[in-house]
Amino acid sequence: MNPDRFVGPAGLIQAYRFIVDWRDRATEERLDDLSGAYRLFRCRTIMNCAEVCPKGLEPVHAIEKIRLKMIGAGEAGGALDTHPPISPT
């Protein structure tokens, strides 16, 4: 993994927030920016980010919805699923 080019789950979930906002005028530019090999498609959807997320977010759902939007399969709108936050032990 290349941390200088990889966006990461937090960055991808923020990108999703703007991509699904109908007021956003830069959706196509955002999708183009995420299409690189070290961007959106670097995520392997193994859910590690969801397991350790202190806010209970599941970035893999946002990542999948962005991928679907990129290929034109379905709408990327809607709220994301969450799980109860995991308390540190």
- Quote the radius of gyration of the chain (alpha carbons, Å): 13
In this structure, whether the domain defined by 8-71 belongs to CATH 1.10.1060.10 is answered with yes
Question: Model's pTM, two decimal places?
Answer: 0.68
Are 53 and 85 within 8 A, CB to CB?
Answer: yes
Give, to the nearest 10 degrees, the angle between helix 59-71 and helix 8-19.
50
Two tokens at 51?
């397991």
pLDDT tens track for 10-60: 888 898 999 889 898 998 898 888 887 777 777 777 777 877 778 878 888
Report the pLDDT value the prediction gives residue 23, as an integer from 0 to 100.
93
Quote the mean pLDDT of the chain. 77
Task: Name the pLDDT band for 76 (thresholds 50, 70, 90).
Answer: very low
Locate the domains of the chain by residue range: 8-71
